[in-house]
Structure 1
Amino acid sequence: MTDKTESPFHRHRALLLQHDYSAAQTLQSFVLSCWNGNTWQFRGDRLTNLDPEHRRAFLEMAQSYAIHGENDPVFMEVCRAMIEQRRKWAVENKAKMDDLAASSPDDHPDGSAEYWREMDELGKQHMRNQEHYLIDRD
């Protein structure tokens, strides 16, 4: 690959780094699974969720990865940026969980049931972040 603009990872960078909706998450999951399939699992059943635009992006990236693999420097750079972004999110999630844990369920503005629901969600996300090596394991 001679020109970075030829890389579909350059063309679809915004989908991979700036969007948080189902189809974009499917593409992100695919790309991270190419980066490290042991840590990042891709669910193929999510491909049915893609509209023609996102399906085209998926096919372009899949074909490019099949041909160039990790020899595409743009693929490598985008993956590093995606991992760094997720590390930042993991730290933010942990801070929210710690802040909530330092408070009392009785003092939660939406009641104790909401406190425990939030703790459960934050805790599950923290465990996923640890499984993906985004944050230190306790």
Structure 2
Amino acid sequence: MVTLILLLVMTVVAVSLLESGHFQSLMARNLQFSERVFEQSQGEIEGQLAKLIDDDANIVSAVSVQGVEQNLTQITADDTALTQSISLEYAGDTRASIGNSIEGGSATGMRLILQSNVELDSQNIHSNQTQALTYVKPK
């Protein structure tokens, strides 16, 4: 009987809180906080991704998300492959495409894939970026 009364009181309290909008405001604040954290971390990742390439198109260093710099130094010493492509088309629309791809690190257990493509035409600018850093168990 006491349990039934306690359950009834808890139900009344929960319904009154729902009607007052308290839970909705908590959920809205939590959602806003999550969105801010996502935008901030996305901006930090994009801001910290950098590729330094010398005149001979050799990779000098690659800096990615915090804490990965040391691993990237090992990756570039082992089996990093750098691909850079530039293509221009003048048939019809003026179009230019620049692409960079860096992939490597499987021998060290870290695998890094950085791809960025920029495509320009007379109307629009399209930019594509893919960043992936995964751990591959060394064999």
**TM-score, with structure 2 as normaliser:** 0.30
Q: TM-score, normalised by structure 1?
A: 0.30
Question: Which is richer in strand?
Answer: 2
Q: Which of these two proteins has the greater Rg computed from alpha carbons? A: 2
